[in-house]
């Protein structure tokens, strides 16, 4: 009886989601849908005619946002680029290190030392948005995920993604990992144009792996006519993101919605934008730059979001076509400990991390891959904003405890978040903090809790953490 009830509930839920999309396409609830998505500071959107590059609609398209798992579009681009260059094949076995295996959900769930075939890795990132797989790919192609993120950023610049900076391969929260809706549209168009055959992977709503069917998060596939990809994304800080590709009767669109309050509102708003702007798209390719400087008048769509015309960046020939300057606006840094990864209904699981392993295959690939950016991406420094340190954290006085020194700030933050979650109220009155120090040419990050009033309080906290298998010692702050 219980199983039957769960099946009925599941069917009703899917029917409700489909109904919401259909009503959006029919225009019945257009105003309420737009309001639900756009009435927040995270919202941004753009619709581009993929045949001509003309911007059909834009709202806050050049303001900085967190990409979340839209990041994996670039990770996949880098994989396909390496395959095209002969540096790997679809059958290449990608090792999963202890670091990659310990990434927070969503994930496939590997044990350290296992491998995944490159083609399965692509499908896992598209459907499941697997963070463990993305990290493994980053380590394989870049030696370390940090090095791979530098390569991703360099590639983004060459594609014309002027305002995007990557810090990891997955899109897991990092305050310095930023993008814009326009840049994500450029990346979506580049994936289709540069890898037209492989772009079909983005239309997969599920795939079979090791005897199990893994289903994706992109609910517009098969429900909105013409949608043939691409990718969803979500963290607490980013809101619900979606890049969609549409190909119908010779008309092609790439549309981006970022910062939705819910997955359903984001999907319905995307369906609304597709319905409004697909008739305005041209049939057939037009030569020249992908993004033109003019926009279609928007007086017929006040319920979406009024948007001023703006110039757009080219994709087809980023080395020869100048990129106009665009206005950007910073966003607040996320509180990392409260973040979740891709997936509308995933629970947070932060694990203690091991440093990524460097392998001969990765080192060999590094020399052949794209060079570093002309201006190197800086490491976080003592003056950088720490995503888990607030203004109320005492910088001097009292006692602190240290639970680890790790090779990246993200790993230190992950360890602090896991410790906080496992200790209940014990650490509620102290503040997680990271501090950098340099050993040789390598920067490390101390993971500390600061604000203990006495040495005894710090010792007591360490004793409790050690019972949970954490290394810990007390220091005067």
Using CA atoms, how far apart are residues 323 and 160, in angstroms rounded to an integer?
7
**Could you say which of 59, 97, 102, 129 is catalytic?**
129
Using CA atoms, how far apart are residues 226 and 467, in angstroms rounded to an integer?
56
Using CA atoms, how far apart are residues 202 and 191, in angstroms rounded to an integer?
10
Burial class of 426 by CB neighbour count within 10 A (0 to 12, 13 to 18, 19+): middle
Tokens in use for 359?
């392998």
Using CA atoms, how far apart are residues 164 and 157, in angstroms rounded to an integer?
8
C-alpha 5, offset from chain centre = 35
Buried b (16+ CB within 10 A) or exposed e, 340-362: bbbbbebeeebebbbebbeeebb
Question: Which position has the token pair 């490159």?
Answer: 118
Neighbour tally for 112: CB within 10 Å? 14
The answer to whether the CB of 366 falls within 8 A of the CB of 262 is: no
Tokens in use for 150?
């530098």
Buried b (16+ CB within 10 A) or exposed e, 164-191: bbbbbbbbbbbbbbbbbbbbbbbbbbbb
**Could you say which of 54, 58, 60, 69 is catalytic?**
69
Query: Is position 338 annotated as part of the catalytic site?
Result: no
- Facing residues of 49 across strands? 253
For 263, the 3-state DSSP assignment is: helix
Query: Is position 72 annotated as part of the catalytic site?
Result: yes
Query: Is position 374 annotated as part of the catalytic site?
Result: no
**Could you say which of 54, 60, 72, 155 is catalytic?**
72
Residue 273: name the closest of 181, 198, 199 by CA. 181
Residue 175: name the closest of 477, 473, 434, 468 by CA. 434
Residue 253: name the closest of 280, 223, 216, 293 by CA. 280
Distances (CA, A) of 179 to 8, 46, 89, 186, 215: 40, 13, 29, 11, 27
Catalytic residues: 69, 72, 129
């Amino acid at each position: 009886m219980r199983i039957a009830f769960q099946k009925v509930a599941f069917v009703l839920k899917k029917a409700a989601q489909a109904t919401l999309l259909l009503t959006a396409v029919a225009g019945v609830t257009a105003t309420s849908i737009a309001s639900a998505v756009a009435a927040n500071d995270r919202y941004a959107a753009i619709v581009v005619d993929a045949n001509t590059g003309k911007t059909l609609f834009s709202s806050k398209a050049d303001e900085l946002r967190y990409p979340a798992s839209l990041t994996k579009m670039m990770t996949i681009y880098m994989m396909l680029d390496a395959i095209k260059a002969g540096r790997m094949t679809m059958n290449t076995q990608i090792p999963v290190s202890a670091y990659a295996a310990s990434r927070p959900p969503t994930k496939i769930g590997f044990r350290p030392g296992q491998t995944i075939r490159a083609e399965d890795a692509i499908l896992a990132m598209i459907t499941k948005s697997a963070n463990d797989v993305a990290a493994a790919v980053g380590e394989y192609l870049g030696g370390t995920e940090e090095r791979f993120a530098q390569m991703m950023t360099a590639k983004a610049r060459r594609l014309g993604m002027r305002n995007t900076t990557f810090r990891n391969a997955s899109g897991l929260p990092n305050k310095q990992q930023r993008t814009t809706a326009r840049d994500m549209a450029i990346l979506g168009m580049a994936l289709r144009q540069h890898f037209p055959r492989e772009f079909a992977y983005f239309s997969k709503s599920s795939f079979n792996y090791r005897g199990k069917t893994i289903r994706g998060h992109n609910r517009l596939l098969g429900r909105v006519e013409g949608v043939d990809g691409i990718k969803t994304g979500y963290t607490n800080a980013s809101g619900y993101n979606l890049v969609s590709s549409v190909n119908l009767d010779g008309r092609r669109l790439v549309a981006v919605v970022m910062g939705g309050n819910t997955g359903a509102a984001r999907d319905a708003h995307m369906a609304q934008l597709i319905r409004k702007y697909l008739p305005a798209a041209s049939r057939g390719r037009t030569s020249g730059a992908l993004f033109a400087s003019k926009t279609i008048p928007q007086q017929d769509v006040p319920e979406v979001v009024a948007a001023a015309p703006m110039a757009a960046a080219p994709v087809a020939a980023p080395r020869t076509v100048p990129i106009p300057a665009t206005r950007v606006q910073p966003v607040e840094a996320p509180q990392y400990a409260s973040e979740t990864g891709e997936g509308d209904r995933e629970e947070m699981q932060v694990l203690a991390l091991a440093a990524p392993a460097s392998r001969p295959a990765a080192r060999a690939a590094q020399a052949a891959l794209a060079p570093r950016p002309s201006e190197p991406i800086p490491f976080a420094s003592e003056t950088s904003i720490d995503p888990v340190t607030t203004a109320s954290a005492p910088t001097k006085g009292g006692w602190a405890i240290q639970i680890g020194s790790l090779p990246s700030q993200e790993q230190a933050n992950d360890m602090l978040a896991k410790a906080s979650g496992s200790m209940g109220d014990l650490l509620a009155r102290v503040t997680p903090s990271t501090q950098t120090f340099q050993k040789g040419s390598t920067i490390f990050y101390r993971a500390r809790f600061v604000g203990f009033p006495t040495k005894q309080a710090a010792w007591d906290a360490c004793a409790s953490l050690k019972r949970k298998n954490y290394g810990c010692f007390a220091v005067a702050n």
